[in-house]
Amino acid sequence: MADRIGFIGLGIMGSGMAMNVLRAGFPLTVWNRTPAKATPLAAAGAAVANTPAELAAASDIVVICISDTADVEAVILGPQGVIEGARPGSLVIDMSTISPAATRQMASALAERGVAMLDAPVSGGSEGAARGTLSIMVGGEATAVQRAAPLLQTMGQRITHVGPHGAGQTVKLVNQVMVVGNCLAMAEGLLLAQAGGVDLDKALEAVSGGAAGSWMLSNRGPQILARDWRPGFTIALQQKDLRLVLEAADQQGAPLPGTALIFQLYRTLEARGLSGDGNHALIKALEALSGIEIAAP
């Protein structure tokens, strides 16, 4: 019999992930702070809980995919939180992107109740969440990873056990450093193409298949050319992750000058009220600096 799954967090990522869990045949209960976001899943056959504790009591495995460290702490450890309903022997999988140190503290608190935890943040944007093709980096005990594998395979194509509790979150921060670096490189390259007067569609086609090719370029480059700022991942969420990156880098004494610069460029866009744009809108900061604008065809 399949594990009963509880899913908390039905936003831009969680909604697609939860739907894939349901389509795979797992019995599913959901909870979201904004109840209306549960409606499509309820219509597809999911049960809806009133609190995280109620959801945990009805689940063998609880998946969490929400915004920030404080939110995850509240959902797991707060009043009517997961820890109040989870039974010994159950498993909590946090697929949010949060502090590695806080992750280890929550894993310890759950372990005292006989509940295992994995940190399993994801990469691949809203497209990957909808298609079930995410990359999932997992921290925690190997036995828990093995137990979670059939569930994780409904949401991701590449699942990598990267180490103990907190390691998944650390690797996700590494991922985000590389994501924003690729994003800045893409933005600078396209700006140079615009300034040079070449056909942008041809330029993108030419470089995508070579050494400059990347997921960011293939998926977000065409959006930039179309001036389509719909988010696969918002600037607000990207900045939240970069704060975690820079905090961890400061704690560890790791110099990340490029990441710090990109954080400040995004900050200029936040100041202009663009927090809800996709993270590829980073190019708008360069456009503002240069007076050069990518022209939509």
Q: Running along the chain, 297 residues long, what does each successive block of 10 average in pLDDT?
A: 93 96 97 95 97 98 96 97 98 97 97 98 93 97 98 98 98 97 98 96 96 96 97 94 96 97 98 98 98 86
Q: Which of 37, 172, 202, 240 is catalytic?
A: 172
CA-angle at 281, arms to 125 and 99, nearest 5°: 50
Pick the CATH number of 171-290 from 3.40.50.360, 1.10.150.120, 1.10.1040.10, 3.20.20.70: 1.10.1040.10
Q: Where are the domains of the chain?
A: 5-165, 171-290
Supply the angle between the helices 167-196 and 283-290 in degrees, to the nearest 10.
40
CB 5 within 8 A of CB 59: yes
The predicted pLDDT at position 297 comes to 62
The predicted pLDDT at position 8 comes to 98
The predicted pLDDT at position 136 comes to 98
Burial (0-12, 13-18, 19+ Cβ within 10 Å), 174? middle
284 is catalytic: no
User: Do the domains at 5-165 and 171-290 have one common CATH topology?
Assistant: no
* 3-state DSSP of 214-274: CHHHHHHHHHHHCCCCCCCCEHHHHHHHHHHHHHHHHHHCCCCHHHHHHHHHHHHHHHCCC
Between CA 186 and CA 140 the distance in angstroms is: 35
The predicted pLDDT at position 2 comes to 82
Let me know if domain 5-165 sits in CATH 3.40.50.720.
yes
CB 268 within 8 A of CB 285: yes
